[in-house]
Amino acid sequence: MGSGASSSAAEAIKPRKAAIIVHSGDLDKVMSALILGNGALAMGLETTLFFTFWGLLRLRRGRLARAPLSRLNLLGLGRWLMRRRMHKARVASLERLLTDFKALGGKVVACELTMEVMGLKREDLEERWIDSYGAVGAFIAEAKEAAITLFI
Amino acid sequence: MTDEAERAADLFVDCRGETCPIPLVEFRKAVMRAKPGEIIEILGTHGPSKEEIPLAVRSLGLELLKIEEDKDGIWRILVRR
């Protein structure tokens, strides 16, 4: 077991990264991004989520819990039903998933271009969740070294 | 190895009733808390998590000591950091 364990340990310390763009602000899509981000961290990948456009709007103060569904939102009825079903199935909330993502060492980058376009200041956002502010260069720098890149 | 697997775990994580990805996430948090050589025991009921925790164990270069499931569908995984 000894030599096998050490060779797999060596394999585990190779730098491995995942870079995920969170472009959508919909409940189902932000949830997918956060589940994937947590999964990547759990597998030992350094993981960064880049929140941009509608995704970044979800990081405004108090907006994470108010995400609509991408389909069948039905003026909030679909969202209400989905949240009820998810609660019953004990699916974690976006807040819980983001808190876990941060606890596992995940990084959150806020898109500065979106902030300019949407007229958002840092204090408009949930700053406790944001590690850094950046533009396309910040994403590409991470993505070029990443084994997994996703646009959600 | 069997004797070691039966040794009381150093860290215990109860994820019974929790669904994906919470058992995987809680397992990963336990790995972060564990010192090298310590044994982590995780209990759960969500089927896919029982399959994916061993994948994470391999990916993290840890040692899988035991996987078992009782007749009520409660699984138990032992891992050494």
Name which of B22, B25, B42 to mutate to probe chain A: the one with the most chain A Cβ atoms within 10 A of its Cβ. B25
Name which of A6, A36, A41 to mutate to probe chain B: the one with the most chain B Cβ atoms within 10 A of its Cβ. A41
| Confidence at residue A79, expressed as pLDDT on a 0 to 100 scale | 85
Q: How many domains does chain B have?
A: 1
Residue A150 maps to a domain: no
pTM: 0.85
Residue A43 in contact with residue B60, Cβ under 8 Å? yes
Residue A72 maps to a domain: yes
SS3 helix, strand, coil % of chain A, rounded to 5?
A: 55, 15, 30
Residue A2 maps to a domain: no
* pLDDT digits 0-9 by tens, B21-78: 999 999 999 999 999 999 999 999 999 999 999 999 999 999 999 999 999 999 999 9
Considering CB atoms only, which of A12, A38, A89 is closest to B25? A38
Q: How many domains does chain A have?
A: 1
* pLDDT digits 0-9 by tens, A121-143: 999 999 999 999 999 999 999 99
Q: How far apart are CA A58 and CA B38, in angstroms?
A: 40
Residue A3 maps to a domain: no
| Residues of B whose CB is below 8 A from A38 | 21, 24-25
* pLDDT digits 0-9 by tens, A12-49: 555 699 999 999 999 999 999 999 999 999 999 999 99
Range of the domain at A83: 17-140
Residue A12 maps to a domain: no
C-alpha count within 13 angstroms, C-beta hemisphere, residue A46: 9
Q: Which residues of A93-110 are buried (b: 16+ CB within 10 A; e: fewer)?
A: bbeebbbbbbebebbbbb
Instruction: Rounding to the nearest 10 degrees, give the CA dihedral for residues A70, A41, B33, A91.
Output: 20
Q: What are phi and psi of B25, to 5 degrees?
A: -65, -45
| Confidence at residue A15, expressed as pLDDT on a 0 to 100 scale | 62
Q: Where residue B5 falls among pLDDT bands split at 50, 70, 90?
A: low
Question: What's the CATH code of the domain at A120?
Answer: 3.40.1260.10
* Identity of the amino acid at A32: S
Which residue is closest to B58 within chain A, CA to CA? A8
Range of the domain at B33: 2-80
Which residue is closest to B54 within chain A, CA to CA? A43
Residue A111 maps to a domain: yes
Residue A54 maps to a domain: yes
| Confidence at residue B73, expressed as pLDDT on a 0 to 100 scale | 94
Respond yes or no: is residue B15 known to be catalytic. Answer: no
Residue A151 maps to a domain: no
Q: How far apart are CA A74 and CA A122, in angstroms?
A: 32
Residues 6+ apart with CB under 8 A from A40: A18, A20, A47, A148
| Residues of A whose CB is below 8 A from B22 | 92, 100
Question: What's the CATH code of the domain at B23?
Answer: 3.30.110.40
* pLDDT digits 0-9 by tens, A75-97: 888 888 888 888 888 888 999 99
